[in-house]
Chains A and B, each alone.
Chain A
Amino acid sequence: MAIVTPLKTAAEQALVQQYADAKAELPGGPAVRKLREDAFAGFEAKGLPHRRLESWRYTDLRSLLREARPLADGVKVTDAVKARLASLKLDGLRLVLVDGVFAPELSMLDAIPEGLTVQSLADALVQPREDLARVLSGPSVGADDAGLALNTALMRDGVFVEVADGVALAQPVVIVSLASAEAERAAFHRSVVLAGKGAKATIVEVSEAAGPAAQQVNGAIVFETGDESDIQHVRMITRHQAASVEVQSLLVTVGAHAKFDSFALVCNAGTVRQQHFVRFAGEHTEIGLRGINLINKAQHSDVTLVVDHAVPHGTSRELYKTIAGGEATGVFQGKVVVRPHAQKTDGGMKSNALLLNEGAAMFNKPELEIFADDVVCGHGATVAQIDSEQLFYLMARGLPRAQAEALVLQAFAGEAAEFIGDEAIRELVMGEVEAWLKAREAAAEVSTV
């Protein structure tokens, strides 16, 4: 058979050009440069991920990304950005990225407590750190992902956070990534969180657009956490234009006797692809990945995760709740891998989806790949409608239909947010959920199935 050489799409060609133009200016020493070159060579060979690639089966980036927007050039602190920052109701140590570039003047660099170091990724990349390439790469299970490769090649900035051994941060570190969004631009950023032995911290990531233009965002965050550490990660992707495309990679390596929890909320965004690559590096560790996806209109939310039980005695839990209305599409692809000898693994994965009306769709692919025998692993996946009996119960007590639905949906979604340890953050998340439901109620939208 003839070997097929795929034609490059306009977006792929543009990305090749962008990389050629930008690579001299992109930060990093020789090791980082090599990392970028290798990653881009991989991208150039394979192109944008498409539906024939198993891990991108339901999110065809090749057809979604018709054009590659120009790379964002520098920090644009517009009034809208300032206003958005001012209205952000979240206490914590704020670190701000604007259009993917660290903005020290908007960040609380003077409030950094002892045991915490913060620098921009651009600064970190040029430092002679031996472990830099390893730290940036994250667990091997994500190594051949095309979305991540593009981020590796083009990452411009981000924050590089280190929490020293034994330090428990009193307040969360809040990484706000705002797009000025006055014009259609693309931003590639990556942040790194290194947590030492016994460190305890909450890291919040907020991704929003302040302006009216659709953005292309390719972000990544790397966690490498030490033994006995306890790290909580909360991500909120909201307030993006319908035509925006966002790819977010979460790369996690966790030490022994540690705890790592991640939660992500997606609402009022365009096309969002989150991909989590998580690896157990030490025994007796608990990892939880959870999320809520609220989608309507033509929105698309994809959560694809790989949990790699590389060592024995690991516990993992995944719980994702999707509510889809309009013409929206929800995707959940979860894969739990239990390596040979990773005995006593306990894995539980669940994806629940409610479809509100004809036109909405949900694709579930919960996978188990198990090579050890002394394990307890399970997964469940459901797709259904709002339970008519629950609605009847509430309406029989006098609640109007729209309100009854909102109540049922809130309870359905809320289950995944219960695990957020920080009360203020949990309330903020549920506040967003309630606002989304209120908007639906106000528009007198009711489920038609």
Chain B
Amino acid sequence: MAAVQETIDQVKSIDVTEYKYGFVTDIEVDKPAKGLSEDTVRYISARKNEPEWMLEWRLDAFRRWKTMTEPTWSRVNYPPINYQDIYYYAAPKKGASPKSLDEVDPAILETYKKLGIPLSEQEILAGVAPENRVAVDAVFDSVSVVTTFKKELAQAGVIFCSISDAIQEHPELVKKYLATVVPVTDNYFATLNCAVFTDGSFVYIPKGVRCPMELSTYFRINEQNTGQFERTLIIADEGSYVSYLEGCTAPKRDENQLHAAVVELIALDDAEIKYSTVQNWYPGDSEGKGGIYNFVTKRGDCRGKNSKISWTQVETGSAITWKYPSCILRGDGSRGEFYSIAVSNGAQQVDSGTKMIHLGKNTTSKIIAKGIAAGKSDSTYRGMVSAHRKATGARNFTNCDSLLIGDQCGAHTIPYIEAKTATAIFEHEATTSKIGEDQMFYCQQRGLSEEEAVALIVNGFVKEVLQQLPMEFAVEAQKLITISLEGSVG
């Protein structure tokens, strides 16, 4: 009867009406006074022992940021953010910049264990086939606490470390690539990030190397009143390949916390980057109290010919999501892909999508976006596909479907399709519907409860995207979607 027990367990695990990762870890932290000024920027830079050029770069960004205004064009509503009421840096006191796992505060290790992310290499290895191993960079509030499998990766020539370490150890690479995809002045939140970013991951895959394992970063916001400003930079040199995963959670709190990250991907000739995200920040309660403001700038640059960047995202968390992982298809024959599932429930607001900017010749792109809105949430797909005059032979296929569950939610589609070359072929299709009564009837006829039927139909709806995720992630994501839609039926 193992199968039955498994089913019961699974249903039990689904039956969590509470956000599963909402606990707080009680540890001592080091943080400056609240508020944002040049001193804050200097403090962060000093704490990270950064070289002078980095500090100057941050200060420039900060000065620029002060002249900018917050964008208001997205379909989301939130009270004005008081940027002086946020802690911009919070680091666990114990064992700052640990050399090995032994130096990391056990409370933090425990936290990651609870989140299902074991950080000790032995634990990871237990019962896992070598090809399924995942190297993890764990970012806790403002700092990276540990990066696993560093040595083994180094043997392959792969650099996988926190961006703070990269600034110290590989300044030439950081200088060469940082902010070349998302310029310092790109947008309000990106500029803010440049000034105050604290940590994040850095990946460099050398020429011709296929990264021997999946790389992953797990972001955890723990402290109260802090913002998390992470920065990720991934460079895939000629002919290389890397698959990178990103996960995130935060405790349940009544306050809103700001998360403004910048992620830059660079793929040189014939390189491929696969970037997967399972975003599960605390979404706030059903009335919209608390939750993370996820204002993120993610962009990939297919700089080399025949390069490929693929974004896959499962968005279930955050009170507000404002994110458009994009591809600049600069190299001839390059390819961009975007697969997204955005699930919103309660009072969540999602304004997400992608941009495919075709600049090189014979570039192709594909967008599959599935939005599911339930409760009182609002979900917007906003996307752009554009072909420059010289981007001859550009090809795009876009499909964005929305599913509405309940009569108080909203689903919106705002695509921009701009062809400036007559050789482009762009196809775009979008639908919005609710779960069909006949589909529900069919499932319930066969003995499924209403909730099970919805779960089954939703699963079918998002399958196309889930298939793009690495195996372990896909299972996790599928569960997440079911939990997110909890209580949306009936």
Contacts and interface: CB of A to CB of B under 8 A. Distances in A.
Interface of A: 1, 54, 324, 340-341, 343, 353, 355-385, 448-449
Interface string B427-454: 1111111100000000000000000000
B432 A378 contact: yes
Contact of A364 (B73, B405, B417): B417
A379 B430 contact: yes
B164 to A, nearest CB: 33
A1 B69 CA distance: 8
B425 A383 contact: yes
23 contacts: A340-B407, A353-B419, A355-B424, A358-B421, A358-B423, A361-B419, A364-B416, A364-B418, A365-B417, A366-B413, A367-B415, A368-B411, A369-B412, A370-B402, A370-B432, A373-B404, A373-B409, A375-B404, A376-B431, A379-B413, A380-B428, A380-B430, A381-B415
B461 to A, nearest CB: 14
Given A368-B413, A374-B407, A382 B431 contact: no
A381 B418 contact: no
A346 B270 CA distance: 45
Given A343-B407, A382-B426, A377 B415 contact: no
A355 B412 contact: no
A372 B373 CA distance: 11
A375 B427 contact: no
Contacts of A361: 418-422
Interface in B374-417: 389, 392, 402, 404-417
Contact of A365 (B69, B404, B412, B416): B416
Nearest to B393: A449
A372 B425 contact: no
Contacts of B414: 365, 367
Top 3 closest A-B pairs, CB basis? A355-B422, A373-B404, A364-B417
Contact of A378 (B417, B418, B424, B429): B429
A331 to B, nearest CB: 10
A384 B425 contact: yes
Task: State the majority secondary structure of interface residues on A.
Answer: strand
B402 A375 contact: no
Contacts of B415: 364-367, 381
A294 to B, nearest CB: 15
Given A366-B415, A367-B412, A373 B407 contact: yes
Nearest to A331: B418
Contact of A377 (B410, B427, B431): B431
B326 to A, nearest CB: 17
Interface string B82-114: 000000000000000000000000000000000
Given A379-B428, A382-B427, 6 more contacts: A54-B73, A340-B408, A362-B417, A374-B407, A377-B432, A382-B428
A265 B431 CA distance: 28
A385 B411 contact: no
B410 A370 contact: yes
A360 B392 CA distance: 13
A228 to B, nearest CB: 28
Contacts of B416: 363-365
A379 B429 contact: yes
Contact of B419 (A355, A372, A373): A355
Nearest to B432: A377
B265 to A, nearest CB: 27
Contacts of B407: 340-341, 343, 372-374
Contact of B423 (A363, A365, A373, A449): A449
A353 B427 CA distance: 10
Given A340-B408, A374-B407, A363 B418 contact: yes
Contact of B410 (A362, A371, A381, A448): A371
B413 A367 contact: yes
Nearest to A369: B412
Given A355-B422, A381-B426, A384-B426, A375 B434 contact: yes
Contacts of A340: 407-408
B413 A383 contact: no
Contacts of A367: 412-415
B285 to A, nearest CB: 22
Contacts of B404: 370, 372-373, 375
B422 A358 contact: yes
A198 B431 CA distance: 33
Nearest to B413: A368
Contacts of A54: 73
Contacts of A375: 404, 432-434
A381 B432 contact: no
B434 A373 contact: yes
A366 B398 CA distance: 13
B422 A359 contact: yes
Contacts of A449: 422-423
A15 to B, nearest CB: 28
B487 to A, nearest CB: 16
A374 B69 CA distance: 39
A54 B73 CA distance: 10
Contacts of B405: 373
Interface in B341-377: none
A377 B433 contact: yes
A362 B418 CA distance: 6
B412 A368 contact: yes
A240 to B, nearest CB: 24
A449 B414 CA distance: 29
Nearest to B408: A340
Nearest to A363: B418
B412 A370 contact: yes
Given A375-B434, A449-B422, A381 B409 contact: no
Among B69, B389, B418, B425, find the residue whose CB has the most chain A CB atoms closer than 10 A: B418
Nearest to A325: B422
Contacts of B410: 369-371
B422 A360 contact: yes
